[in-house]
Amino acid sequence: MRKLIFDQEKDLDLDLTIKELRSRLDYMHDLEIDDLIDFFDKLASRFEVKNIKDFFSKTNLKQRLKIALHGNYYALDKWVDLQDPELLFHAQPRGLTVHWLAGNVPVLGLFSIFFALITKNVCLVKASLIGSEELAGYLNKIKDVETEKIKGRDLAKSIKAILINNDDKEMHQALSLAADVRIAWGGREAIKAITGLEKNIFSQDIIFGPKYSYALVDNWSEKTARKLAVDVSVFDQYACSSPHTVFVKEDALGFAKELAKQLQTVNRIMIPKGKIDPAKAAEIVSLRAEYEIKAQVFSSSSTDWTVVYSQGPGLAKGCFSRVIFVKPIKDILEIKEYNDRQKQSLGISLENKNQLDSITRFGIDRCPDLGRMTFYESPWDGMFVFDRLVRWVTTYK
Amino acid sequence: MNKSFLEKDPFILVQKEKEKLFLLEIKEQAQWHYDNCSEFCKMCKNRNFDPFSEFKITDLPYIPVSMFKAFDLISVPENEVVKTLYSSSTSGRPSKIMLDKTTADNQILVLNKIMADFLGKQRRPFIIFDSEETIKSSEGELSSRGTAIRGMMSLASKMLFVLDKDLKLDVNKLKSALCSNACFFGFTWLIYNIFLENNKEIARLCQSFDNNLILHIGGWKKLKDLAVSKQEFNHKIGQMFHCSRIIDFYGMTEQLGTVYPDCEYGFKHAPLYSEIIIRDVNTLEPVKTGEPGFIQLLSPLPRSYPGISILSDDIGKVVGIDDCKCGRKGKYFVFEKRPELAEVKGCGDTLNI
């Protein structure tokens, strides 16, 4: 399978596709950042996904760009003064960004594509077969947006999305060699395969690899449990920022029971769970039975959600599909030993944050409040992605 | 367990009559396991189920089949265990099933009654496509293949093994074993392997014999890896053995004895001694006739381990009740597939933590 699925649908001619994309670099370079911000603000308003809507809103995007680009995002348009006594700075686009997307949460891939466009790069997107139609649907929204300065139909020509088989080594190698930036979302095997490809020695790698997230609660209320229930329910825990375990300092068993109530409410009112595949359902049923014997289980009568209260040590293996382990903890510093570079988000509900420095020393890239765990933020996975997508150029004042 | 229950014919009662008898038997066994197996008791309590109060068959908690892999579940003192069985385990650790004499005897009794209903009461010579080594137990432990073959012993006038230790066909043994009115028996994948290696030779040898039948069990997952459908299997194997009656039977190591052979119309029948419930994959509620879902099998036979209500991860559907053209009463069903888990391949792939 070698197919182009966006911005046209036809058989893939990779050389031609790359050539067409590179020919768009001048167009992208000449766009002004304020116009791009306006465009993405309008585009985001057409998304129902809160994550996209919020992040690319004009106010938020300006703030994120400013912080990521050292205080002045106009560096994307011109030479700017960043308070260096001698130097002026300009952020040039890196060029052709190649994105290998994962199928778990198609919307997450949009972040890297939009980031690349905002920093005036062009995008060659290797879509995942799972979710490829959803992705094409999202990208097609770009064509329908028009602002005073940017026509979506024109901007869309700077993105090409393709489908190729995962074992098509020749094509993957060609993509890798063509990339000025390689952006990879995926599980361990996918990331290993992509980073193992030969690449241009000057290209930049941005890896959104397999990550584990969990939560930490000291004192809690019904609201705390409600917020965590939302984090568990959004994306059915298939995002890397979704929690699989929560450590609770005070009355963990009571919290488990409250969390069960809140998961039921969230499922009924806010985020109804869709159908799941039989193998996942069988896994959930087995897990429940196992912990009915070893611990305590609170669950829906269906496979919708499951809370396991377990006093066993450590982080629980992610089952996904709204299965969360609640574990008691005496001292919140105990979790420090679980943190390495594989741990991404630690959702918190803490009276004070004094110990977070110590907790995050060897791992954990973000400590969002509960209810915001799956919100996309900048930085992500410990990186200011906007910054990684540009090439800084200096000259003397 | 009421002996007269086990002595009744397996397929003569209509569903309503069967359910009355079945509920009495399963209730008694549920109470036994509740009192004698702490794990079963915990599961019942967690699901607010009390076997001493009134309940419907669908209320009885199910134990996922995987629990027999994760725990040593037992409802009798260990010194009463006469045999320990292990499932074939296509994935990871096998199920471990501990049998006392009562359970083992009852399982053999019902196996005979069910199989006699399909094969007739007259015993046939069984030509076993396996090695004789397979049925030798080691310190009271037996593999699922060995258990299945041993289960056939009482149905056979004699048993002739035609594979060597390496599971290769011994042509001379086959030649001397062949006769008319025989039953070829073996595991599905093993028979197919023999087909791949010895198809022409066996076909030539079998041509002059009539009225034979093929009984095969288990291992569809291995065949799926070879991309062989049930229809293709039946066609090829039927031609090789020169016979048209091919019976695939479904069963679980976790509920030995109650087996489900295909009737002449291709359906599997729940006998008096077991019941089938199909549960929706998402809601886990029982579904209507014709709708697919997880196969839950209930049987009052297991006494030494709490295997009276098992939820398999196989998908099947009940096709009808009391009205199969073959004349057998009760529910009849088909096995559809064993689902495979689509792995999480994204950034949410949490690896081993």
The answer to whether A302 contacts B283, with C-beta atoms less than 8 Å apart, is yes
φ and ψ at residue B268, rounded to 5 degrees? -100, 140
Residues paired with residue A383 on neighbouring β-strands, in sequence order: A380
DSSP A72-128: -GGGGTS-B--S-SSEEEEEEE--EEEEE--SS-HHHHHHHHHHHHHTT-EEEEE--
Looking at the complex, report in whole angstroms how far the Cα of residue B285 sits from the nearest Cα belonging to chain A.
8
Specify the pLDDT at position B58: 96
| Contact assignment for A314 to B352 by CB distance below 8 Å | no
> Which of A285, A297, A308, A383 should one mutate to test binding to chain B, selecting the residue with the greatest count of B CBs within 10 A?
A285
Q: Read off the tokens for A333.
A: 């510093």
Q: How far is CA A5 from CA A22, A130, A160, A162, A201, in A?
A: 18, 13, 8, 5, 29
Number of compact structural domains in chain B: 1
Nearest to B42 among A105, A283, A293 (CB): A293
Give the residue from B283, B349, B352 with the most A CB atoms within 10 Å of its CB, the best one to mutate: B349
Ranking A149-158, B32-41, B73-82, B208-217 by mean pLDDT, the lowest is B208-217
Distance CA A182, CA A312 (A): 40
Over residues B152-204, the pLDDT tens digits come to 887 888 889 989 888 898 888 888 888 888 899 998 888 888 888 888 888 88
Interface check B342 vs A, CB under 8 A: yes
Q: What mean pLDDT is predicted for residues A119-134?
A: 92
**Lowest-confidence segment of A157-161, A187-191, A251-255, A332-336 by average pLDDT:** A187-191
User: For B32-83, what is each residue's pLDDT tens digit?
Assistant: 999 999 999 999 999 999 999 999 999 999 999 999 999 999 999 999 999 8
Å from A90 to nearest chain B CA?
Answer: 32
B279 contact residues in A (CB cutoff 8 A): none
Residue of B nearest to A345 (CA): B348
Residue type (1 letter), B113? K
Q: Which residue of A239, A293, A317 is in closest CB contact with B348?
A: A239
Say if residue B138's pLDDT is above 70.
no
List chain A domain ranges: 2-210, 212-359
Chain B residue with minimum CA distance to A295: B42
Query: Tens digit of pLDDT for each residue in B274-303?
Result: 999 999 999 999 999 999 999 999 999 999
pLDDT at B88 over 80: no
CATH superfamily placement of domain A2-210: Aldehyde Dehydrogenase; Chain A, domain 1 (3.40.605.10)
Please report which confidence band the pLDDT of residue B344 belongs to, taking 50, 70 and 90 as the band edges. Answer: low
Task: Return d(Cα B272, Cα A272) in angstroms, integer.
Answer: 41
Q: Give B34→chain A minimum CA distance, Å.
A: 13
Judged by a CB distance cut-off of 8 A, whether residue B42 touches chain A is yes
Question: What pLDDT, on a 0 to 100 scale, did the predictor assign at position B124?
Answer: 87
Residues A335-341 have a mean pLDDT of 94
Domain membership of residue B344 (yes or no) is no
B43 to chain A, any CB pair closer than 8 A? The answer is yes
A238–B352 CB contact, under 8 Å: no
User: B19 is in which domain, residue-wise?
Assistant: 3-337
Measured CA distances, B335 to A15, B254, B256, B260, B339 (Å) = 49, 17, 17, 10, 12
Query: Contact B70/A290, CB-based, under 8 Å?
Result: yes
* Contact between B345 and A190 using a beta-carbon 8 Å cutoff: yes
- H-run or E-run covering A35: helix A33-44
Judged against a pLDDT cut of 70, whether residue A367 lies above it is answered with: yes
- What is the distance, to the nearest Å, from the Cα of residue B349 to the centroid of all Cα atoms in its chain? 35
**Do A342 and B353 make contact, defined as CB atoms within 8 angstroms?**
yes
Interface contact flag, B353 A292, Cβ < 8 Å: no
Q: Which residues of B touch A277 (CB under 8 A)?
A: 281, 339, 341-342
CATH of domain A212-359: 3.40.309.10
Complex ipTM value: 0.87
Quick one: pLDDT at residue A38?
A: 97
Distances (CA, A) of A367 to A63, B104, B316: 19, 57, 45
Say yes or no: B48 contacts chain A, CB-CB below 8 A.
no
Which chain B positions have a beta carbon within 8 Å of A290's beta carbon? 66-67, 70-71
Q: CB distance from B336 to chain A under 8 Å?
A: no
Q: Which residue has the tokens 């359906």?
A: B267
Residue B64 belongs to a domain with what CATH number?
Answer: 3.40.50.12780
Interatomic CA distance for residues A284 and A279, integer angstroms: 9
Q: Which residues of A touch B284 (CB under 8 A)?
A: 281, 285, 301-303
More confident residue, B137 or B270: B270
The pLDDT mean for chain A works out to 94
**Residue B339: which of A187, A282, A285 has the nearest Cβ?**
A282
Distance from the Cα of A310 to chain B's closest Cα (Å) equals 14
Nearest chain A residue to B346, by CA: A186
B58 Cβ under 8 Å from any chain A Cβ: no
Tell me the pLDDT tens digit for each residue of A66-90: 999 999 999 999 999 999 999 999 9
- A279 vs B340: CB contact, 8 Å cut-off? yes
Largest Cα separation within chain B, whole Å, is: 62
pTM (2 d.p.)? 0.88
> How far is residue B79 CA from its own chain's centroid?
27
Tokens representing A120 are 């005036």
B347 in contact with A, Cβ within 8 Å = yes
Higher pLDDT, B101 or B219: B101
User: B67 lies in a domain?
Assistant: yes
pLDDT given at position A115: 97
Per the structure block, which two tokens stand in for B176?
């001397």
A104, A257, A286, best to mutate vs chain B, most B CBs in 10 Å:
A286
**Three-class SS of residue B336?**
strand
Asked if the Cβ–Cβ distance from B353 to A296 is below 8 Å, we say no
pLDDT score of B340:
67
pLDDT band at A118 (very low <50, low <70, confident <90, very high): very high
Residue A390 has pLDDT above 60, yes or no: yes
pLDDT of residue A83: 94
Q: Which residues are A323's β-sheet partners?
A: A306
Judge: B341–A289 Cβ closer than 8 Å, yes or no.
no
Say if residues A280 and A250 touch (Cβ distance below 8 Å).
Answer: no
Q: Residue B89's pLDDT is what?
A: 61
User: What confidence tier does A10 reach under pLDDT thresholds 50, 70, 90?
Assistant: very high
Q: Any idea how long chain B is?
A: 353
pLDDT at B217 over 90: no
pLDDT at residue B178, as a whole number: 81
On whether the CB atoms of residues A326 and A259 are closer than 8 A, the answer is yes
Three-state SS at A216: strand
Closest A-chain CA to B61: A289
pLDDT tens-place string over residues B219-273: 666 666 667 777 888 888 888 888 888 888 888 888 988 999 999 898 999 999 9
What residue of B is the nearest CA neighbor of A284? B64
Residue B180, pLDDT score: 81
By Cβ distance, the residue of A130, A188, A277 closest to B351 is A188
pLDDT at B257: 87
- Name every residue whose Cβ is closer than 8 Å to that of residue B40 and which is 6 or more positions away in sequence: B33, B34, B63, B73, B75, B306
Residue B222 confidence (pLDDT): 66
Chain A contact present for B66, CB below 8 A: yes
Which whole-number Å values give the CA distances from B176 to B149, B170, B173, B258, B269, in the listed order? 20, 10, 5, 33, 35
